[in-house]
Structure 1
Amino acid sequence: MIGWYVHHHGWGHVTRMRAIRRHLGEEVTVFSSLPAPEALDEGTTWVRLPEDADPVVGSDGLSREAHELGDVTAGGALHWAPIGHPGHQERLAIIADWIARNPVSVFVVDVSVEVTAFVRLLGVPTVVFAQPGDRTDSPHRLGYDVADRIVAPWAPGTIDAAELASRVDRVRHVGAISRYDGRDRDGIADDTARRVLFLSRTLDQPELAATADLLAARGWVVETAGARGDDRVDDVWPMLCRATVVVSAAGQNGVADLAAVGARAVVLPQDRPFGEQEHTGRVLQSDGYAWTGPADSTPAQIVELVERAAASTPDWTGWGVAGAAARAARAIEEVAS
């Protein structure tokens, strides 16, 4: 049996788990403070964990934020371990109880240094996911040090991760993992319209509206998916296929989906911890995969980038999407066997 921790920030970690899950033969139990998706693959169980960062009401009746209870980093050794937080304690107890009652072959962590160290202390082999950006701090080094395998979800020679250099024997570069790997375009009609698709929350609403107006004035058909509060699309593949240009952030899943469809793209890296998206954006620009601009690009600048992207012919082969999810599954099974 495989355990799998899914971080609660966004839906990218869930999407990655589901892409890899279909290539695993063992039963999988997922732990996350996110609600379970509407549909899970057969043999997959979802365990909802309590929150570990919400305010706590003390014996004096006062509500305090988690960071007010004490040093949440244990002197810089960890990222998040709030003192005396009931939710934090309960979520680790749930994981420990499950490990004690089940024959766990491997525990996948995407991502949490604290869960990685905790599970390994319980005597369970671990597989962790690496991320772009500067991960040379003490907590990240701890997580990588205790991991049995480190899955780098990018192709060799793309993302430079200095923190992995001394751990190469345990690193598996699998390529970018996309839920759309291998999907074809059957049944998706082409048209002659110039379409631009804004994917995910890349721009604030006023900037999005102003950019859309400028593009429409130039004859572009503007579409959105997850870029506003009311436009969530479960399956964006047909929209990706029809788009002449896709405007996206530089998150790992979003960029992997661009690669899967071979998109002409404008990427606007967002401000994230450890410079994750800025790091990815620099690689995309320097290696010719996409046109990039800062997150605070003006509407006029974005329109110019869209026009440039429309005239480009990117080759996404080097991003390594084809077969990446299956390679990640094999890395997990190396440890489970």
Structure 2
Amino acid sequence: MNRPHVGFYVHYHGLGHKHRAEAIMRHLDCDCTVITSRCGDAAWSGKHLIDVMDLPSDIDDVPDHGYRHRQEVPALHYAPLWTDNITARVAAYTGWLQDAKPDLMVVDVSAEISMLTRLASIPQVVVRQHGRRDDDAHHNAYAAAISLLAPFPESWEDDITPSWVRQKTIYLNGFRREPEKTPQTIPQHERPTVVVMFGRGGHADAHAPLRSAANECPDFQWLVIGLDDDEHHPAGPANLSFLGWQESPQDIYRHADVVVTAAGHNSVMEIGSYRRPMIAIAQDRPFDEQIRKARILDREGLAVGLSRWPEAGSWPRLLDRARRLDTSQWDRVFQEDGAQQAASYLTSTAQWAAKQKRLQTETSPCPSV
């Protein structure tokens, strides 16, 4: 029997969606096609990955007069007018659905792609994210899916999530991307270490707050990943080091006494998988995604969750609180491999969908009324 064909729409913002798809595809017993934008030429891995399709990006070459109309449709998050890239994007995606006829689509994430998938009569599973997702576009995308996939356990559910969304959700244990190489041996420091992690992007305003934090806590060695030193200012305190971008940050934070990170899903999961005491600071994201996640992490005792960067003078108390966390509580989050759980569910769902499609082609059409 042929393997079912599953398409993965992978959002192009950051690398978290890519890493999540690859972690699932590593275990998925289905033929897979990735559909994405802006990162189609990147290296992709998957057990049965057969193709990567690079769609025109919906944020490139958008005219100003068209961009002003982007949020006029409550059922959609983003629908500018007079944008050739979007016209080509829609045609390319729906054309691929017509030609490939995948048994199942996994949409991570886009309300517009979800609507196009449903309109094209293809069953889909939509990936959920934390945040205040009570707008029409999210609810329509959730309603268009046969089920929802939450890359977090049910204990992480938000109090504001409607019951009908919970009932459609398949909850997963934690998973993270596999280390790409053997961990390096990192020099040990005489003082306990605080590792501060920054992702890609501009953080020009972070140097002064970091110098202040290091001065507040001279008994700690502060190591900053993802940010270079500020050459326009005098050297910071001796217990503060800027390590720049690191391809394998886990080599540095896996033995840290405290890790300070944004409350992004993949960063939090990877740090939690190493059972490190964590301070998760929400960054400004649409739909309060990181603010809601930071609250949940704090509620569950998995991290010190903060809605914004701490005020001056509060770091000694926060570090002490983080070091008192019971990091063994992460054992429940990683009780099973969430990527394997997702792959098992998607394989069975794709097999079911393929069977339904065969029944449709084998059944005689109903007589006209």
Q: In which range does the TM-score fall when normalised by the shorter chain? A: 0.7 to 0.9
Written as runs of structure 1 = structure 2, the 5 A alignment for 1:62-73 is 63-64=63-64, 66-68=66-68, 71-73=69-71
User: CA, structure 1 residues 227+316, in 2 after alignment: closer, same or farther (shift >3 Å)?
Assistant: farther
Contact 1:133 1:276 in 2 (8 A): yes
The question of whether the paired residues in 2 share the 8 Å contact of 1:152 and 1:171 is answered with: yes
The alignment's TM-score, normalised by the length of structure 2, stands at 0.79
Percent identical pairs in the alignment equals 26
Corresponding pairs, count: 327
**Are positions 1:309 and 2:337 aligned together?**
no
Aligned counterpart, 2:43: 38
Matching residue of 1:59: none
Aligned equivalent of 2:236: none
Contact 1:248 1:266 in 2 (8 A): yes
Aligned to 1:138: 136
Change (3 A) 1:184 1:300: farther
The equivalent position to 1:123 in structure 2, one of 121, 124, 135, is 121
Establish whether residue 12 from structure 1 lines up as the match of residue 10 from structure 2. no
Residues 160 and 238 from structure 1, CA distance in 2 versus in 1: closer, same or farther, beyond 3 angstroms?
A: same
**Alpha-carbon distance in structure 1 between the residues aligned to 2:123 and 2:185:** 44
**Residue 238 (structure 2) pairs with residue 225 (structure 1):** no
Please tell me the residue identity of whatever aligns with 2:177. Answer: R
Q: 1:67 to 1:190 in 2, by over 3 A?
A: same
Whether 1:264 and 2:277 are equivalent positions in the alignment is yes
**CA–CA distance in 2 between the matches of 1:157 and 1:85?**
42
Structure 1 residues 299 and 94: alpha-carbon distance in aligned structure 2, compared to 1, 3 A threshold: farther
- Per the alignment, do residues 227 and 108 of structure 1 end up closer, same or farther by CA in structure 2, a change over 3 Å counting? farther
Q: Which residue of 1, 20, 28 maps to 2:32?
A: 28
Q: Does 1:333 align with 2:347?
A: yes
Once structures 1 and 2 are overlaid, which stretch shifts more, 220-229 or 101-110? 220-229
Shift of 1:277: 1.0
Secondary structure of the residue that 2:126 maps to in structure 1? strand
Q: Partner residue of 2:53? A: 47
> 1:67 is matched by which residue type in structure 2?
Y
Structure 1 residue runs of 5 or longer lacking an equivalent are 57-62
| Post-superposition offset of 1:145 | 0.4
Give the root-mean-square deviation of aligned CA atoms: 2.8
Structure 1 pair 81/184, CA: closer, same or farther in 2 (3 Å)?
same
Deviation at 1:249, TM superposition (A): 0.9
1:185, distance to aligned residue in structure 2 (A): 9.2
2:108: which partner in 1? 110
CA deviations 1:39-68 (Å, max 9, x no partner) are 533543322222212344xxxxxx525423
**Are 2:296 and 1:283 aligned?**
yes
Q: Which ranges in structure 2 are unaligned for 5 or more consecutive residues?
A: 230-242, 352-369
Contact 1:133 1:161 survives alignment (8 Å): no
- Preserved CA contact (<8 Å) 1:178 1:257: yes
Task: Give the partner amino acid of 1:33.
Answer: S
* More deviation, 11-20/226-235: 226-235
Aligned to 1:60: none
Instruction: Name 1:155's counterpart in structure 2.
Output: 153
Q: Distance in 2 between matches of 1:240 and 1:19?
A: 21
Query: Cα distance, 1:311 vs. partner?
Result: 3.9
After TM superposition, the structure 1 = structure 2 runs for residues 142-291 of structure 1, keeping only pairs within 5 Å, are 142-160=140-158, 162-180=160-178, 191=188, 193=190, 194-201=192-199, 204-211=205-212, 213-214=214-215, 218-228=218-228, 231-291=244-304
Picking from 80, 91, 94, the partner of 2:92 is 94
Cα distance change of structure 1 residues 167 and 213 upon mapping to structure 2, 3 Å threshold: closer
Residue 78 of structure 1: SS of its match in structure 2?
A: coil
| Deviation of the 1:325 alpha carbon | 1.0
Larger radius of gyration: 2
Residues 130, 293 of structure 2: 8 Å contact kept: yes
Q: What is the rounded CA distance, in whole Å, between the counterparts of 2:212 and 2:326 in structure 1?
A: 23
- Segment of structure 1 superposing worse, 164-173 or 6-15: 164-173
